Amino acid sequence: MKRGQFNLLEAWLESFSHYLAVEKGLAQNTLESYRRDLKKFFSFLHKEKKTNPSTINRDVISRYLLELKQSGHAASTISRNIASIRSFYNFLVQDGLVEDNPAQQLETPRIEKKLPRVLSTKEVDRLLCQPKVGDHNGLRDKAMLELLYASGIRVSELVLLNVGDFNPEVGYLRCCGKGMKERIVPIGSVSINFVQEYIQTCRSKLIKKNDEKALFVNHHGRRLTRQGFWKILKKYAQKSKISGEITPHTLRHSFATHLLENGADLRSVQEMLGHSDISTTQIYTQITRRKIREVYDKTHPRA
């Protein structure tokens, strides 16, 4: 591919990124994922010496996907790359830069959905009991972990919370999810009590500026980051001595599964998790069905 035409693709990518950010309101992580996928695709085109970006056809893209497969990439990665290229070309067609989308009819590889790791209620109790509430950081950590399990919100949503998003009087939390979509999530009395205690006794000691809006702050008095929370969780996961890896999403998965196990309806859980498609939430029903089967096999005399 000639340098000028490669630059043209880069310019189109910048326009596409702006479109996704401004018009679609996608999160920064999603934008970066699109950009990474497309830049790798452009590198392949450069290597293949494809001279005209507007005449790249289905065969060229298929060769790229085959290269990904032969390099050992998972079906989920290949599927994501197809989605990125297809979205990019949809944008180009929409803006009249190319006539059709060569990725439109590409078949997406079948992906085996792995069931997420879920903690038992006893394991959750062990994890949530690790922070020592006698000091400022310990009480903050306890409040965060209790809130995360009580609400099922993502860690990215947790660290974006402001003090005004927490409403203890009505027992609700306001958070911004993917695409900056706002939702209201109910929270229980245990998490409310710990968050209130943190705000009343610790937060003022941790913040450096009185106008700081962030609900949870680090030792510098600034908004806690996702990476900062990950380090905190990792520390308590190791202390709890629970087998297997525990991630911020493990508490979200556990929240959803425990609700369904105790009779919550799928649509309500979908709303609380902020899933746009109920099929995403349905994976948790597979976990509850698996658990029912295990209980049956262990307890029924003729199983």
Q: Catalytic site residue 252?
A: yes
Question: Across all residues in the chain, what is the average pLDDT?
Answer: 87
273 CB-side CA count, 13 A: 27
Domains of the chain: residue spans and CATH = 3-94 (1.10.150.130), 121-298 (1.10.443.10)
Q: Catalytic site residue 258?
A: no
Question: Are residues 173 and 165 in contact, defined by beta-carbon separation less than 8 angstroms?
Answer: yes
So what's the pLDDT on residue 171? 93
**Band of residue 161 on the pLDDT scale cut at 50, 70, 90:** very high
Question: Are residues 191 and 143 in contact, defined by beta-carbon separation less than 8 angstroms?
Answer: yes
So what's the pLDDT on residue 192? 96
Least confident of 127-131, 177-181, 198-202, 268-272: 177-181
Catalytic annotation, pick one of 89, 149, 236, 284:
284
Tokens standing for 72?
Answer: 């050992």
Average pLDDT over residues 232-242: 94
Q: Specify whether the backbone of 182 is left (phi greater than 0), alpha (psi in -120 to 50) or beta.
A: beta
**Band of residue 1 on the pLDDT scale cut at 50, 70, 90:** very low
Q: Where are the alpha helices (DSSP H) in 95-225?
A: 121-128, 136-151, 155-160, 189-198, 204-206
Average pLDDT over residues 252-272: 88
Average pLDDT over residues 273-299: 72
Q: Catalytic site residue 46?
A: no
Helix axes 266-273, 248-261, angle to 10 degrees: 160
Percent of the chain at pLDDT above 90?
A: 55
So what's the pLDDT on residue 37? 94
So what's the pLDDT on residue 98? 86
119 CB-side CA count, 13 A: 25
Does position 242 have pLDDT exceeding 70, yes or no? yes
Catalytic annotation, pick one of 126, 174, 178, 234:
178
Does position 174 have pLDDT exceeding 70, yes or no? yes
Q: Catalytic site residue 284?
A: yes
**Band of residue 299 on the pLDDT scale cut at 50, 70, 90:** low
Catalytic annotation, pick one of 154, 203, 253, 258:
154
Catalytic annotation, pick one of 86, 252, 253, 258:
252
